[in-house]
Amino acid sequence: MPSMIEVAHLTRRYGRYVAVDDVSFRVEPGTVTGFLGPNGAGKSTCMRMITGLTPPTSGTATVLGRPYVALGNPGRHVGVLLDAAAQHAGRTGREILTLGAIMMGLDRHRVDEMLELVGLTGEESRRRLRNYSLGMRQRLGIAHALLGDPQVLILDEPANGLDPAGIRWMRSLLRGFADEGGTVLLSSHLLHEIEVVADDLVVIGRGRIVANGSKAQLMSAAGTTVRSADDARLATALEVGGFQAAPMNGGGIHTDAEPCVVGQLALQQQVALLELREAGTSGLEEMFLQLTAADAREGVAA
């Protein structure tokens, strides 16, 4: 079976500035892939190229084996949410979904099903979009993306504006969609927002892929977390031994050395260990921050 989404050497230049630089990755059927990177790393530009809204300078992107623009009635195959505010502010939520259903050739009952699915009440669905909160716009955007019963979802920062209960609901919804055979590409600049739900991770910084693999692979490569009675002395011993040793917020060290190696060095240096474990999720976060540190600022690229 071909990849649901395949990106090959995708590049977008604006004059001399390179917003997306030779990006390649695949999103397989039945998975949630987290597309991670700081604000301005190039995630949105890449997703706009995948969905045909921004032409690439070079490279290709296909969905279900074809360019998005070549899909007949694309909403029946691919659900897209790139900007929850990109709807007519004077229309009601129900009107927006009804127009979508008409354009896709769907039964009007699908509108009621989607409103119920995303938790928008009948009264809320009759409000003008200008009176929606950001969280309500996100729910409406997810309803529109799911309207055509697609095989693939492409969502850009869908948790923006959702409260903690809403974020949990969204994760459950997307996990269920993937478990039933659907495929999700989910962008975020926050690791914890999608770490729970993602199967695979693609990390981008300054327009380039800096890490790509299964969540399990990246977490296993995340190293070791250690806290000791003398972190500075232990860090020096690790560095002399050829290992990286980065101080962590709140104390402790993150290192690429195996836990057994850290323990041996601590014994040699007679440094008492207070905590020693494989880094897991915290190490994944440290790795993410290190990989994208040069791009961790606003306003570089969309």
Segment 41-84, tens digit of pLDDT: 899 999 999 999 999 999 999 999 999 999 999 999 999 999 87
Q: How confident is the model at residue 290 (pLDDT cuts 50, 70, 90)?
A: low
Q: Contact 232/239 with Cβ under 8 angstroms?
A: no
* CATH architecture, domain 223-278: 2-Layer Sandwich (3.30)
pLDDT at 297: 47
Q: CB count, 10 Å around CB of 171?
A: 19
- Whether 5-77+150-214 shares its CATH topology with 223-278 is answered no
Tell me if residue 253 falls in helix, strand or coil: strand
d(CA 192, CA 252): 21
d(CA 292, CA 193): 17
pTM: 0.79
pLDDT at 278: 76
For residue 283, give Cα distances in angstroms to 110, 121, 229: 43, 41, 21
Return the domain boundaries, the chain. 5-77+150-214, 223-278
Q: Check residues 263 and 286 and name the one with the higher pLDDT.
A: 263
Segment 159-207, tens digit of pLDDT: 888 888 888 899 999 999 999 999 999 998 777 777 788 999 998 988 9
- For residue 301, pLDDT beyond 50: no
Q: Residue 162: which residues within 8 A CB-CB, separation 6 or more?
A: 135, 138, 139, 169, 170
What CATH number was assigned to the domain covering residues 5-77+150-214? 3.40.50.300
Residue 224's nearest CA partner among 284, 144, 279 is 279
